[in-house]
Structure 1
């Protein structure tokens, strides 16, 4: 597999771990001293930090497990990433990719069953976030790890208490 494909797969694992709320899997993608920071867009080319940075894979795992709201019954999230720009320079790499996050909510099954003629997906899919993942990676013992990850949100983002 090419370096570019391996790097793209790291992001695929990252978003799947986020959607599953699996801190252990997500934290394993980062080095012990990785810096992860979220930003909100302030203008065409400007961003401001949303919260203090997380340092290291253990902090990322803790944040996913303790700060992300659990999905409601019948609910989930689904990340889509696109337009991956990847530059590899030996054992260092940089990736920038667009993302959209969707909130998925299954419709409750009526006690009497689905109405006659019901067909297709039953529920709603709503876009809730978009932006860019701007990520630095380092190959360590043959494995790509995230050393810097900037989540650049297109809209203001509020974290209570921060």
Structure 2
């Protein structure tokens, strides 16, 4: 079915809210994007076209809320993540949709402000940005009460991912 520009924008906006919530580690905001019966699956690439699960499927918004809120180790002061998504493709069939997108996750480290301020002549952004993850999102959505919600979200990481137990 042809996708209207507005429908495509609404579907892509769900992913935009997902990555922004993830970067803020706001598990409640991310979980609110899911249906009650949603499933999230995380994979690591093992070959050119093969992947293996990182965790058992996460069922419902509760486990995704916990994963986003507690992802990894606590970040040191001045360290954040920043997702960028690209090459979005959207298909819509009445009240269901599929979104495919590439992603890159960056780590940003703010430069430490000297105790007595920046030296005269200092200018520009102080810190570093480096890519730490990349891959693909394959996301199925359903329109619920007029709003798009995630029903199945698959994250295909280009590299191995280790999630500590706990």
- Per the shorter chain, which TM-score range? over 0.9
TM-score, scaled to structure 1:
0.95
Q: CA deviation at 1:19?
A: 0.3
Equivalents in 2 of 1:3, 1:68: separation in Å? 34
Other-structure match for 1:81: 85
- Unmatched segments (≥5 aa) in structure 2: none
Partner SS, residue 4 of structure 1: helix
Residue pair 2:72, 2:163 contacting (<8 A) in 1 also: no
Q: CA deviation at 1:69?
A: 3.2
For these two proteins, the number of residue pairs brought into alignment is 162
Is 2:58 the partner of 1:54? yes
TM-score, scaled to structure 2:
0.93
Other-structure match for 1:120: 124
Segments of 4+ in structure 1 off by > 4 A?
none
Residue pair 1:21, 1:70 contacting (<8 A) in 2 also: no
Equivalents in 2 of 1:71, 1:30: separation in Å? 26
Q: CA deviation at 1:147?
A: 0.3
Equivalents in 2 of 1:104, 1:126: separation in Å? 7
Q: CA deviation at 1:119?
A: 1.0
- Unmatched segments (≥5 aa) in structure 1: none
Residue pair 1:39, 1:49 contacting (<8 A) in 2 also: yes
